[in-house]
Structure 1
Amino acid sequence: MLKQFAESTAPKTKGLRTLYNLVRKLGPVRINTLTELTGYKHVTCTRLLDELVQEGLIYDSGIGASSGGRKPMMYVIKPDAFYLIGTEITSLYTTVLLLDLNLDIIASKKLKMAAHCTGEFTLNFVTQSVDELLASHNIQKDKLLGIGVGFIEPIDKERGVLLNPHLFPAGGWQDLNIIEYLQQKNTVSVFFDNGTNLAALAEYRKHYWKETDNLVFVSSDTEIRCGTISHGKLVNNNSGMDDAFGHTIIDMHGRRCLCGAYGCLQAYSSLPAIHDEVVRQIKRGRSSSISEIIKDAEEIDLHHVLSALEEKDPLCVEVTKDAAYYFGIGLSNLIYLLRPEIVICGGTLVPQSLFYEIAADTAQNRLKQFPNSHVQILKSTGAYNIVAQGAGCLVLDHFTEEK
């Protein structure tokens, strides 16, 4: 039945979809709450809920508190009614997650991107991972709703291709139709979106949609981006400005960015910017544990810097702290403009040494002139998996959300 939600416009199907979505959002939830929110008569609501129960999509959680008589039914969705595949593909790693309908991770596969990871090789890894994940958990293919894919790099959603895949360590991405390729290999629906949008969607759906309808997710990674939830909906645009946040100016006389402008946030707080500054300092004679492993500074890559950061290399930590300070300045500017209730910080750099703490403190200090703003700046709960979880959510939303 869940697959029919996206195909049928019949009033009954619409009612079933509406109730399923409310149970998904509010569960455990009583029938009285559902009748109040939908305006359905009690008998109509009961009949539709019973049908969802019979179809195995929802069930009574049994946790309702009794006031002396029979315990009220408290409905929740059945998370193993179907399954989702969520995938994130970046220049550093490809992540494939097997998810239930609560977006909880059942199992995962990960590929470290290297010179052999062409477009077709990577998509074949995704396909192989899907087969292995399903088989290892005895899940039939017809229980898979679809595959969601998130990219940090700019995308053309209409054509299903990457626009500028220059950051990948191998070729074969130019004009490769990712949606078409994966659909042919996996014979299921495939959906595709910007990774930061998907991270915002996953954080909202998993943790915050009972708390707020206005949320921003910011990511510091190979690029700096943001995704926005406004009035409970993911804000999408086709302007090709997915990385615009990274090109806000924090110092008009500062470093030159790859875009040609001076003082972009991207030139200070992205992973490539940290890498470039570390290399620059090593060339000037600063000591680093990286120099003991890589003798030629030109051969230092992003993985070397990340590994040194995890080992608390003093030079890498110092450079990252500076990057976090500038990120906090950019973050406060974004809050001034969008005025969200919650800001979630994610991306590769957030789990690193003090990056989140310094960025959040810097932003909050700049917001003190607005004491009534009460903006929460929080760390992403999903760390390195949140984009892939959002990609899975994209699949589920296709079948269940109002169009």
Structure 2
Amino acid sequence: MLKKFEELTSPKAKNLKLLYSLVRKHGPIKINTLTELTGFKHVTCARLLDELVEEGLIHDSGIGKSSGGRKPLMYVVKPDAYYLVGVEITSLFTTVLLLDLTLHIVGMEKLKMDTACTGEHTLNFITRCVDELLVKNNIQKEKLLGIGIGMLDTFDPEKGTIQDPQSFPALGWNINIVEELERKNNTKVFLGNGTDLAALAEYRLNYWKETDNLIFVSSDIEIRCSAIFQGRLVRNNAAFGHTIIDIHGRRCTCGSYGCLQGYSSLTAIRNEVIRLLKRGKSSILQKEEIEEIDFHHILHAIEHKDPLCLEVVKDAAYYFGIALSNLIFMMRPEIVVFGGTLVPKPLFFEEAAKTALMRDTSRTVQINKSTSAYNIVAQGAGCMVLDYFTEEPLV
């Protein structure tokens, strides 16, 4: 039935979709609460819930508390009714996740991007992973709702192509990602902005019941942010990376001076590390050819607490924290979620959060690490598929 939600437009179908969405958000939830939220008569609500139960989309969690009589039914979504595939494609890694309807990760595959990873090679990898993950977990292909793709690089939504794949180590990205994957997998494929999808996944997974106002920020090759306000997605993306933090600072690729992008991105960190190495600073990276040092080398050195790289990361985090404090002051979110490649590494998150909180005089905002920094975009991509069938668009 979940697949039919897209096609059905009758009042009854809309009511079923609404109830499923509320159970998804508030579950475990009892029928009396659902009647209050929807305004449905008790008998109507009960009949619709029975239909969702019969279709295998929801079930009783069994955790209802009795006040002396019969325990009330507490409805939750049935996570294995269908499955989703969420994918993140970046110039560093391609991540493929098999997800259930609660966005729990059932299976995972990753591809380290190198000179062999052309567009065709990468899409073949994704298709192979979809088939293998379904077989490995004894899931029929008919239970796959669709595939969501999250991209941090700028893409053309109409052509389904990456607009400027210069950062990718291999050529061959002039390819319609959506059409190719739909043809190879015979299922719906959706393409979305990775930062927006990360914000969406954090909201759905962790904060849906707690708040409708949060900001998601990330520092990778570029710096981006997205926000959920009043439960709806506010697209901002690259604008945060071009916040001016030093009017006499470094020249940015955008042509301006002193942008955050030039201080706190992976690109900026790499450039600063190379500059210091050329000046004779000591580092475990000295054994590498300086001009061949890439992001993987930098991340490896940070993990091994290389003093030079940690010094650069600490400065980058300080500038990020200053920009983040300005963002908090302007947008007044209840929660800030911090994601991106640098978050699980030493120092960056701690220093940036400390700097931002020191400048936040209200002291009301929470700054939290992403629950799954390396998988959150792919989880959001899977969420995009489920939302297509069950939610009103967050736009």
TM-score range, shorter chain: over 0.9
CA contact (8 A) 1:87 1:147 kept: yes
| Distance across 2 between alignment mates of 1:359 and 1:308 | 19
SS at match of 1:91: coil
The CA distance in 2 between the partners of 1:230 and 1:173, in whole Å, is 35
After the TM superposition, which residues 15-34 of structure 1 pair with which residues of structure 2 at under 5 Å, given as runs?
A: 15-34=15-34
Q: Distance in 1 between matches of 2:19 and 2:245?
A: 46
Please report the TM-score for the alignment, with normalisation by the length of structure 2. Answer: 0.98
Distance 1:349 1:31 in 2: 44
Aligned equivalent of 2:318: 325
Taking the aligned partners of 1:230 and 1:156, their CA distance within structure 2 comes to 26
Q: For the residues of structure 2 that align with 1:178 and 1:336, how far apart are their CA atoms? A: 39
1:3-402 mapped onto 2 (5 Å cutoff): 3-174=3-174, 176-236=175-235, 242-292=237-287, 294=288, 296-368=289-361, 371=362, 374-402=364-392
Assess if the C-alpha contact under 8 Å between 1:248 and 1:264 holds in 2: yes
For the residues of structure 2 that align with 1:232 and 1:59, how far apart are their CA atoms? Answer: 26
- What is the letter of the counterpart of residue 192 of structure 2? D
Q: What is the rounded CA distance, in whole Å, between the counterparts of 2:234 and 2:9 in structure 1?
A: 25
Q: Measure, in 2, the Cα distance between the counterparts of 1:126 and 1:9.
A: 33
- Judge which range, 33-42 or 154-163, deviates more: 154-163
* CA distance, structure 2, for counterparts of residue 248 and residue 255 of structure 1: 13
Deviations 1:22-59 (A, max 9, x none): 00000000000000000000000000000000000000
Equivalent AA in structure 2 for residue 328 of structure 1: G
Q: Secondary structure of the residue that 1:383 maps to in structure 2? A: coil
Tell me, which stretches of 5 or more residues in structure 1 are unaligned? Answer: none
- Whichever residue aligns with residue 301 of structure 2, its letter is A
The offset of 1:375, in angstroms, is 1.1
Show CA shifts across 1:104-158 (max 9, x none).
Answer: 0011000000011111111111111101101111111110000000011112223
Q: Cα RMSD over matched residues?
A: 1.0
**Which deviations, in whole Å up to 9, do the C-alpha atoms of 1:158-196 show, x marking residues without a partner?**
32221221111111113x211111101101000111100
How far apart are the structure 1 equivalents of 2:256 and 2:141? Answer: 49
Which secondary structure state, in structure 2, belongs to the residue aligned with residue 122 of structure 1?
helix
**Letter matched to residue 314 of structure 2:** K
Distance of 1:235 and 1:127 partners within structure 2: 31
CA offsets, 1:336-379, max 9 Å, x none? 222211110000011111111111111111112xx2x6111111
TM-score (ref. length: structure 1): 0.96
Structure 2 Cα separation of the partners of residues 117 and 260 of structure 1? 31
**2:21 alignment partner AA:** N
